[in-house]
């Protein structure tokens, strides 16, 4: 049950690497408007800059804190050594003091009632440990932000993204990406949630020790989901709607492919390999 004594104070961690002011401004404008709709008492945004070139002062000036009617605090943490996605998010998880914590990619836009939907679910269900959103692409197509435990076959197929193989293994791929859940458009428990937008209670993230910092990039959200899932239930909520403009790993450069493969090996070594 919801404890009315709990204040709606939301910490948000956003890891950036060479992102422009205009990109992050759009993300935060939608976040602030959605937070205002949810009657958030204080919004604490920490931009974790792994390249050291993000202009937070211009961002604060552009957003004009005085016009929103609630407290908004900005922190800018610079790590020129680029320690990785998990390490950076953990700084906010362990140092900031809000009751709720939103792990957020710098390419996400919120529907107006999104934050209200996510926080209300955490308030009403003490066993709910993470709320995962309905994710739309730029054309409004529903993307899979929840997954079943990955097999090596599925990861290879998704990495290659070749039409003939995708068609042959369509049933397997659909099962992995929980297509039946997406089609039903119902609130449903999930095994793994996308790290692009994770709404949690701070204490639950701390209890599982945050992200495993041995994952530099990729699979850190899979690992965190599995560990959180041992403490409570992850829920997919189709009323918690965002737009996400991320890309496909297989279409990125050699460095990203290397990160992906190393993290995949670590994930299977830690949690066990599933071949098919």
pLDDT tens string 207-218: 999 999 999 999
Residues whose CB falls within 8 Å of the CB of residue 246, separated by 6 or more in sequence, listed in order: 105, 107, 196
Query: Does residue 138 belong to any structural domain of this protein?
Result: yes
Residue 209 lies in a domain: yes
* In a domain? residue 117: yes
What does residue 272 show for φ and ψ, rounded to 5 degrees? Answer: 105, 140
Give residue 21's pLDDT band: very low, low, confident or very high (50, 70, 90).
Answer: confident
Does any domain span residue 147?
Answer: yes
Nearest to 169 by CA among 151, 190, 184, 149: 151
For the stretch 159-210, pLDDT in tens is 899 999 999 999 999 999 999 999 999 999 999 999 999 999 999 999 999 9
Q: Compute the distance between CA of residue 133 and CA of residue 196 in angstroms, rounded to an integer.
A: 9
Q: Is 246 exposed, middle or buried (0-12, 13-18, 19+ CB in 10 A)?
A: middle
In a 3-state reduction of DSSP, which class is residue 222?
helix
CA-atom Rg of the chain in angstroms: 18
Write out the two tokens for 39: 């009657």
pLDDT value at position 3?
Answer: 64
pLDDT value for 207: 99
Q: For all residues of the chain together, what is the average pLDDT?
A: 93
92 within domain boundaries: yes
Asked whether residue 4 is assigned to any structural domain, the reply reads no
Residue 3 lies in a domain: no
Q: Are 9 and 96 in contact (CB under 8 A)?
A: no
pLDDT tens digits along 52-81: 887 877 888 877 666 678 999 999 999 989
41 within 8 A of 8, measured Cβ to Cβ: yes
Which pLDDT belongs to residue 245? 85
Identify the CATH number of the domain in which residue 190 sits.
Answer: 3.90.550.10
- The total number of structural domains in the chain stands at 1
In the prediction, which pLDDT does 126 show?
A: 97
Does residue 250 surpass a pLDDT of 60?
Answer: no
Q: For residue 108, is it within any domain? A: yes
Confidence (pLDDT) at 58: 84
At 57 the pLDDT is 79
Q: What pLDDT score was predicted for residue 66?
A: 63
CB atoms within 10 A of CB 122: 21
pLDDT at 2: 53
Distance, in Å, from the CA atom of 269 to the CA atom of 266, rounded to the nearest integer, reads 5
The pLDDT tens digits for 118-160 are 999 999 999 999 999 999 999 999 999 999 999 999 999 998 9
156's CB contacts (< 8 A; 6+ apart) are none
Instruction: Say whether 263 sits in a helix, a strand or coil.
Output: helix
Domain span holding position 22: 9-271
Query: Does an H or E element contain 48, and which?
Result: strand 42-49
**Res. 264 pLDDT band, cuts 50 70 90:** very high
pLDDT of residue 64: 65
Beta strand residue intervals within 137-232, DSSP E = 142-143, 146-147, 188-190, 192-193, 197-201
């Amino acid at each position: 049950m919801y404890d009315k004594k709990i204040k709606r104070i939301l910490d948000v961690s956003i890891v950036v690497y060479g992102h422009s002011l205009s990109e992050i401004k759009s993300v935060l404008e939608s976040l602030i408007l959605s937070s205002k709709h949810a009657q958030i008492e204080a919004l604490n945004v920490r931009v974790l800059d792994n390249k050291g070139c993000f202009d937070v002062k211009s961002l604060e000036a552009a957003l004009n804190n005085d016009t929103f009617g609630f407290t908004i605090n900005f922190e800018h943490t610079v790590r020129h050594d680029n320690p990785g996605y998990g390490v950076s998010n953990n700084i906010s998880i362990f140092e900031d003091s809000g009751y709720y914590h939103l792990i957020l990619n710098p390419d996400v836009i919120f529907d107006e009632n999104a934050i209200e939907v996510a926080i209300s679910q955490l308030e009403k269900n003490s066993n709910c440990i993470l709320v995962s959103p309905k994710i739309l692409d730029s054309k409004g197509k529903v993307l899979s932000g929840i997954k079943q435990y990955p097999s090596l076959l599925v990861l290879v197929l998704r990495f290659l993204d070749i039409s003939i193989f995708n068609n042959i293994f369509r049933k397997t791929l659909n099962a992995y990406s929980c297509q039946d859940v997406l089609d039903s458009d119902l609130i449903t428990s999930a095994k793994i949630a996308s790290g692009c937008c994770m709404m949690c209670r701070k204490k639950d993230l701390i209890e599982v020790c945050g992200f495993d910092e041995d994952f530099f990039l990729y699979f850190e959200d899979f690992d965190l989901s599995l560990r959180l899932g041992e403490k409570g239930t992850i829920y997919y909520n189709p009323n918690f709607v965002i737009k996400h403009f991320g890309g496909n790993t297989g279409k990125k450069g050699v460095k990203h492919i290397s990160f992906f493969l190393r993290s995949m090996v670590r994930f299977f070594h830690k949690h066990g390999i599933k071949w098919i």
